[in-house]
Amino acid sequence: MDQTQYAESNSNLTDKVEDLTFFTPEDFADEEEMIAKTTEQFLKLDVRPLMEKATPIEQQAVRTLFEKAGEIGLLGIEVPEDFGGLELGKKVAGLVAEKMGAAGSFSVSFNIHAGVGTLPYVYFGTKAQKKKYLPKLISGEWIGAYALTEPNAGSDALNAQTTAVLSEEGTYWTLNGEKQWITNAQLANCYVVFGKTAKGMTAFIVDRTFEGVSIGPEEKKMGIKDSSTATLILEDVKIPAENVLGEIGKGHQVALNILNMARLKLAFANIGTGKHAFQLALAYAKERKQFQKSLVDFTMIQEKIANMAVQLFGAESAAYRTAGELDDAVQHLASTEEFVRVVAGFMMDCAINKVNCSEALDYIVDEAVQIHGGYGYMQEYEVENLYRDARINRIFEGTNEINRLAIAKVVLKKGQSVSRIEQADYPACLERSYDYIVAAKQQVDIVLKALTLHLKESIGEQQEFLRLLANINKRLFILESAFKRTEKAIDKQEEASEKLKRLLTEILCEEGYRSIQADAITFVSSAYTDENSRRKIVSEIEAVSFPLYSNLFEKKREIVQAMIKSGRYTV
């Protein structure tokens, strides 16, 4: 059973709590902003001095960083207070992950530990397991890892070959197998490991000290070179029966729901890295002179910087929206079963954010290198390292192809677009953006009609159509998130940033609509087999009413001037 089949097999899994609060980055309280500043200071005083030294960073130095992070509370953001954590939820965890995005390879190690290395105990552990492991994990005394991927089970992660056999007396399990590309493998003191049992996949807690546990050599990677990545080898490892995590045969619930949240955490880290790359590019463009002018005075460079800002605005609007909705949905849940039901309902949202933020980051670091010119290709400039590090994000936590299939299949199950926002009234200055969103929804309806008439039976095997369906709905989700964020700023009379948000939203909606329309035309042109039907449906798409296109160059120049003035990404 893969992640999409898992959601489809439960009719209520995509139902969410009604009336979820729409959260934006501007809604953080002063206390939460202080946590962000604490994270920034940790990077400045502890992490970056190590990053600036020759790589790879020694393991003991990384352990010291974890202990420091634990000391200042960064490892226990999502852990209940009963076990020493801060219990601050997904929004604050996202804020910390975003700030850690500027920490290079350590960001990967940190987020794996604080996410998939810790959260399985929080949501699926027994009280005894939580009491034993969580205090050590959030203090940094122990480092956690998550072992799902195998040599022959990458994207098909639930088809693992690692076996777990229960002893006759029922007191221990014997595990055999290999887990590949495990982040923190060399550093970890405990691993969440998945194995096949007679009742199905099951999650286990495996201590590093258990006999038969060994670690392969460090992998030689394209990027994230300072993070540990190696194979976890299990040879007749005896696991106490009380180390089963969750229920026997229901390890897929642990794996898939923890991965959902990991994708959102990764999205936040990508946003943080993107903001860091943006600032490096902006600073270089202001400093570097060619033809007796600063690079930032050339309008083509300004356009690049503005486009990077647009990508960041859309990404953070959608990610914080999702974190806020998740926090609302999971609070006060009474059981693990309720948690599984609710979090599975966010599978599509988390996949959208993972795909969008990883691809936005790729765009941003690529343009950052381009703005640096030849210097961007040289290792002494940080953007070269950011460029290499960014590439992994489209692969791990589920490839973007797998995540697109997950998005599309949820849309198919619902039979409607991702849109959950109904506007009855909105500020007049947002009319253009709103009209683009309405037009985009109409395009989705046309695509779904074509799918129902011509592709319903075969759509699962025609992944190109699923890719387009995912892309269209992903963009619509981003447009609506930016729109609602800007609408909220106007309602709250945030005059200092209201105009900038409006400009960013207008560009997102106009350019996003163009992309949605192009994908819709490609979709229906390939779905309809005869020429007359094809002409008719394409005409229907082109007949959708939308605002006149605007002067995007002028808007982008205005945006970049605000960024130049502040010296960083700011809204």
33-57: pLDDT as tens digits? 999 999 999 999 999 998 887 667 7
Asked if the peptide bond before residue 80 counts as cis, ω within 30 degrees of 0, the response is no
491 versus 153: the higher-pLDDT residue is 491
Domain-located, residue 64 = yes
For residue 547, name the pLDDT band (cuts at 50, 70, 90). Answer: confident
Phi, psi for 258 (deg, rounded to 5): -70, -40
The answer to whether the CB of 279 falls within 8 A of the CB of 568 is: yes
Say if residue 195 is in the same domain as residue 327.
Answer: no
pLDDT at 240: 98
pLDDT at 8: 46
Say if residue 467 is in the same domain as residue 356.
Answer: no
Q: To the nearest 10°, report the CA torsion of 116, 133, 208, 221.
A: 20
pLDDT at 119: 97
Domain boundary among 89, 109, 142: 142
Domain boundary among 114, 142, 170: 142
* pLDDT at 459 exceeding the cut of 90: no
Which residues make beta-bridge pairs with 191?
145, 206
Catalytic residue list contains 397? yes
Q: Which helix (H) or strand (E) holds 183?
A: strand 172-183
Domain-located, residue 571 = no
Instruction: For residue 205, give the nearest of 159, 139, 155, 137 by alpha carbon.
Output: 137
Domain-located, residue 228 = yes
Say if residue 368 is in the same domain as residue 398.
Answer: yes
CATH number at residue 183: 2.40.110.10
99 versus 154: the higher-pLDDT residue is 99
The answer to whether the CB of 383 falls within 8 A of the CB of 281 is: yes
460 versus 406: the higher-pLDDT residue is 406
Say if residue 198 is in the same domain as residue 268.
Answer: no
The average pLDDT across 440-466 equals 83
Average pLDDT in the chain: 92
pLDDT at 52: 82
pLDDT in tens, 413-433: 888 888 876 666 788 899 999
CATH number at residue 32: 1.10.540.10
pLDDT at 18: 47
Phi, psi for 244 (deg, rounded to 5): -70, 130
CA-CA distance, 297 to 307, in Å (whole number)? 16
pLDDT at 62: 94
Say if residue 286 is in the same domain as residue 351.
Answer: yes
CATH number at residue 265: 1.20.140.10
The answer to whether the CB of 364 falls within 8 A of the CB of 237 is: no
For residue 15, name the pLDDT band (cuts at 50, 70, 90). Answer: very low
Q: Which helix (H) or strand (E) holds 390?
A: helix 382-390
The answer to whether the CB of 110 falls within 8 A of the CB of 100 is: yes
Please tell me the least confidently modeled range out of 101-110, 306-315, 438-447: 438-447
CA-CA distance, 275 to 530, in Å (whole number)? 48
CA dihedral sign of residues 315, 317, 322, 323? positive
| Total number of domains constituting the chain | 4
Domain-located, residue 33 = yes
pLDDT at 53: 77
SS3 content of the chain, % helix, strand, coil (to 5): 60, 10, 25
pLDDT at 527: 86
The average pLDDT across 267-290 equals 97
144-147 and 190-197 as β-strands: parallel, antiparallel, unpaired?
parallel
* pLDDT at 14 exceeding the cut of 50: no
CA-CA distance, 470 to 490, in Å (whole number)? 30
Say if residue 164 is in the same domain as residue 216.
Answer: yes
* pLDDT at 491 exceeding the cut of 70: yes
Domain-located, residue 73 = yes
Say if residue 544 is in the same domain as residue 463.
Answer: yes
Active-site residue among 98, 316, 382, 397?
397
pLDDT in tens, 362-412: 999 999 999 999 999 999 999 999 999 999 999 999 999 999 999 999 998
CA-CA distance, 523 to 540, in Å (whole number)? 13
The average pLDDT across 230-250 equals 97
pLDDT at 358: 98
pLDDT in tens, 293-352: 999 999 999 999 999 999 999 999 999 999 999 999 988 887 889 999 999 999 999 999
| Lookup: tokens for 415 | 């039979």
* Chain Cα centroid distance, residue 321: 13
pLDDT at 56: 72
pLDDT at 2: 52
Say if residue 369 is in the same domain as residue 442.
Answer: no
Say if residue 175 is in the same domain as residue 198.
Answer: yes
16 versus 407: the higher-pLDDT residue is 407
Domain-located, residue 136 = yes
pLDDT at 453: 72
Domain residues for the domain of 258 are 251-402
Say if residue 176 is in the same domain as residue 319.
Answer: no
Q: How many CB atoms lie within 10 A of CB 382?
A: 18
Domain-located, residue 39 = yes
Say if residue 441 is in the same domain as residue 504.
Answer: yes
pLDDT in tens, 161-207: 999 999 999 999 999 999 999 999 999 999 999 999 999 999 999 99
| DSSP code, position 169 | T
Say if residue 308 is in the same domain as residue 191.
Answer: no
* Chain Cα centroid distance, residue 358: 7
Domain-located, residue 159 = yes
- Share of residues in the chain with pLDDT > 70 (%): 94
For residue 6, name the pLDDT band (cuts at 50, 70, 90). Answer: very low
For residue 7, name the pLDDT band (cuts at 50, 70, 90). Answer: very low
pLDDT at 219: 96
| Lookup: tokens for 307 | 């486009």
Predicted model pTM:
0.95
Domain boundary among 193, 228, 245: 245
* pLDDT at 70 exceeding the cut of 80: yes
Amino acid sitting at position 537: I
